Structure 1
Amino acid sequence: MVYTKNKSFSFEWDNLKSEKNLKKHGVSFELAMTVFDDPWAWITTDEKHSTVTEVREWIVGLSDNGVLVVVFTKRLHGKVYRIISARAASRRERRIYEDFKKLSF
């Protein structure tokens, strides 16, 4: 499934994975897309789960329903972002997000 946003890239994901993620974490991939609109979101490489052929990244940012952590990978030279999972940020991750946001002002 591919969803286009008003950006230079689109989103895609596996529908079955999206349904499982919603049941497990209570976060839809549609909601996860909204994190990419947060100007204070920060992105880091997920070195533990990345491979030579697939670099995974985390974005931590404010969604329409609180701070989320979204794991994704870029495809087609960065034109498509494939969402792998999404969940509510932990207390520690929210604190890091808030600290990063304060430093950005």
Structure 2
Amino acid sequence: MEFEWDPVKSAANYKKHGVSFTEALELFGDPERIEVVLSYQEERRFAVVGMVRGKHWTAIITYREGRTRIISVRRSHPKEERAYDENL
């Protein structure tokens, strides 16, 4: 899987949520991660929920030209945590 992101957005994400997009790549190593389709008009986006170092994290992504583009990463909301845990 090939990833891409805007480095300026990654730095802003780190400042706001305490995680960079490079660190967020660990999320995609979780074999139990779930992916939920989100409703966006411009392009289809997905919420990927998984565990990183024992904590739930959610990445918002899209797929462009065969690559996974990371848009944002944050700690998961309780509803997302439940969805992940129920999937185990």
Shared fold (TM-score, shorter chain, > 0.5): yes
Shift of 1:65: 5.5
Is the Cα–Cα contact under 8 Å of residues 35 and 63 in structure 1 kept in the other structure? yes
Question: Residues 43 and 60 of structure 1 are in contact (CA less than 8 Å); yes or no, is this contact kept in structure 2?
Answer: yes
The RMSD of aligned alpha carbons is 1.4
- 2:80 aligns with 93
Higher relative CO (Cα under 8 Å, sequence separation at least 6) belongs to: 2
Query: Once superposed, which parts of structure 1, at least 4 consecutive aligned residues long, lie more than 4 Å away?
Result: none
Unaligned runs of 5+ in 2: none
AA matched with 2:61: F
Letter matched to residue 31 of structure 1: E
Please say if 1:16 is aligned against 2:3.
no
Deviations 1:53-78 (A, max 9, x none): x21111001123521000000011xx
Conserved 8 A contact 1:44-1:58? yes
Structure 1 stretches lacking a partner, 5+ long: 1-8
Q: CA deviation at 1:99?
A: 1.5
Identical residues among aligned pairs (%):
36
* Pair 1:51-2:41 in alignment: yes
TM-score under structure 1 normalisation? 0.76
Residue pairs, 1:59-70, within 5 angstroms: 59-64=48-53, 66-70=55-59
